[in-house]
Amino acid sequence: MSDKPILSLQDANILQGDHLVLHDVNIHIEEGQFVYLIGQTGSGKSSLLKTLYGDLPLKKGSGSIVGYDLHQLKEKDIPYLRRKIGVVFQDFQLLTDRTVHENLVFVLKATGWKDKKKIEKRINEVLSKVGMATKGHKMPHQISGGEQQRVAIARALLNDPELILADEPTGNLDPRTSEEIMILLSEICQSGRAILMATHDYSLILKFPFNTWKCEDGKVVETVQNTL
Ligand SMILES: Nc1ncnc2c1ncn2[C@@H]1O[C@H](COP(=O)(O)OP(=O)(O)OP(=O)(O)O)[C@@H](O)[C@H]1O
């Protein structure tokens, strides 16, 4: 593992419109690192992640993510930034009117892939990686929540991202399925990708211990497990 920074914020303010959610945020993630983001409801976890994937502007402070300067980020840069990071949400956000396979084709075509053979090869690779190789023909409503999240993770992996941002990816899943998703995310991390994951599930943190940042009183602080 090198010490190449995949993500860093210096003295950053996180805003929702005029509302200051977090101030003077200083964080840093390197290649292959797994970091949890915790904090009470409304403490700013999603707002921080949104700033990182370009959904909220960084107006004060500096920040870089997978080589992009967040302060200089233009609307036209956002699709390119999103190809270098994978984003996973609590509610999976699959397109419900098409199969698993078609969901993945859609993303590849939207991100510039044209060669049919390469598209098929990549889809097989990511579906195999998440244990869903035989389910490509299913509609999202024909598979379980855990399986839908596996597909959403496969979708996040399509463009081989250096970083995955996951906003409560186990929030809609039962404890056993949550653990399976954590095992999958841990394996993805071991293969060299960095992961920043917002969660409310402290039992997962205890079972899969990684560095933890807490949003509290408008700040992000590094925390240790016995003070969770
Ligand atoms: N779209 C929005 N417009 C204005 N304010 C918002 C918006 N979304 C969130 N906020 C406010 O920003 C603050 C942080 O919310 P955020 O969603 O980032 O918290 P969170 O830690 O992710 O919460 P949760 O654990 O419930 O998902 C809250 O005060 C919230 O009310």
pLDDT at position 5: 82
Share of the chain above pLDDT 70, in %: 96
Distance 42 CA to ligand 1 centre (A): 5
* Ligand 1, atom 31: closest residue by C-alpha: 42
Separation of CA 171 and ligand 1 centre (Å): 16
**Cα(217) to centroid of ligand 1, in Å?**
13
Is pLDDT of 11 > 80?
Answer: yes
Query: Are the C-beta atoms of 181 and 146 separated by less than 8 Å?
Result: yes
19 in contact with ligand 1, CB cutoff 6 A: yes
- Give distance in angstroms: CA of 219 to centre of ligand 1: 14
In three-state secondary structure terms, 132 is: coil
Q: pLDDT digit string (tens) for 69-90?
A: 999 999 999 888 988 999 999 9
CA angle, residues 87, 64, 41, in degrees to nearest 5: 50
Report the nearest atom of ligand 1 relative to the CA of 49.
Answer: 18
How far are the Cα atoms of 167, 178, 201 from residue 207, in angstroms, in the given order? 19, 11, 10
Band of residue 1 on the pLDDT scale cut at 50, 70, 90: very low
Q: pTM for this structure?
A: 0.93
Domains and CATH numbers, the chain: 32-56+74-227 (3.40.50.300)
% the chain with pLDDT above 90: 90
Interface confidence, given as ipTM, is: 0.96
What is the pLDDT confidence band of residue 215, given thresholds at 50, 70 and 90?
Answer: very high
Please give the backbone phi and psi of residue 114, each rounded to the nearest 5 degrees, phi first. -125, -35
User: Which amino acid residue places its CA nearest to atom 6 of ligand 1?
Assistant: 16
Pairing relation of β-strands 85-89 and 163-167?
A: parallel
Tell me the CB-side half-sphere exposure of residue 2, using CA atoms within 13 A: 4
Kindly report, residue by residue over 27-64, the tens digit of the pLDDT. 999 999 999 999 999 999 999 999 999 999 999 999 99
Over residues 188-206, the pLDDT tens digits come to 999 999 999 999 999 999 9
Is residue 170's pLDDT more than 90?
Answer: yes
Q: What is the mean pLDDT of the chain?
A: 94
Task: Give the separation between CA 228 and CA 212, rounded to whole angstroms.
Answer: 9
Best probe residue, ligand 1, of 14, 15, 16, 20 (max atoms within 8 Å of C-beta): 16
Residue 223 alpha carbon to ligand 1 centre in Å:
21
Q: Kindly state the helix (H) or strand (E) to which residue 196 belongs, with its residue range.
A: strand 194-198
What are the two backbone dihedrals, phi and then psi, of residue 96, each rounded to the nearest 5 degrees? -80, -10
Closest CA relative to residue 213, chosen from 36, 94, 31: 36
